[in-house]
């Protein structure tokens, strides 16, 4: 599951691959320090005021996030393992 979590070590190419391959099945998660959020939407340009910067390994993107709590993570794992 951790390989689907976006961090500052994720390259833009890896990000695009994750979005193309898994975003319809597995929520796109983002780790910032000890906090994990779900990426609701993203953009390659800052075109929406409520988006925040997300620094990837080789570029900056902009994301709209929501909190991702442990129980949501556990529910997702349970569904995937069924």
* Mean pLDDT of all residues in 33-37: 83
Q: Beta strand 35-43 with 29-32: parallel, antiparallel or unpaired?
A: antiparallel
Q: CA-CA distance, 31 to 33, in Å (whole number)? A: 6
> Is pLDDT of 26 > 90?
no
The pTM for the full model equals 0.73
> Is pLDDT of 19 > 90?
no
Q: CA-CA distance, 33 to 50, in Å (whole number)? A: 21
Alpha helices in 1-82 (DSSP H): 12-22, 70-81
Q: Across the chain, what does the average pLDDT equal?
A: 81
Q: In what order do the strands lie in the sheet with 60-67?
A: 5-6, 29-32, 35-43, 60-67, 52-55
The pLDDT, as a whole number, for residue 54 is 93
* Mean pLDDT of all residues in 42-70: 89
């Amino acid at each position: 599951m951790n390989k689907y979590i976006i961090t500052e070590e994720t390259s833009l190419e890896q990000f695009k691959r994750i979005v193309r391959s898994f975003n319809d099945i597995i929520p796109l998660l983002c780790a910032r320090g000890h906090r994990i959020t779900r990426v609701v939407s993203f953009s390659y340009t800052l075109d929406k005021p409520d988006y925040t910067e997300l620094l990837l390994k080789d570029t900056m993107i902009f994301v709209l996030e929501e909190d991702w709590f442990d129980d949501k993570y556990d529910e997702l794992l349970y569904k995937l393992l069924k």
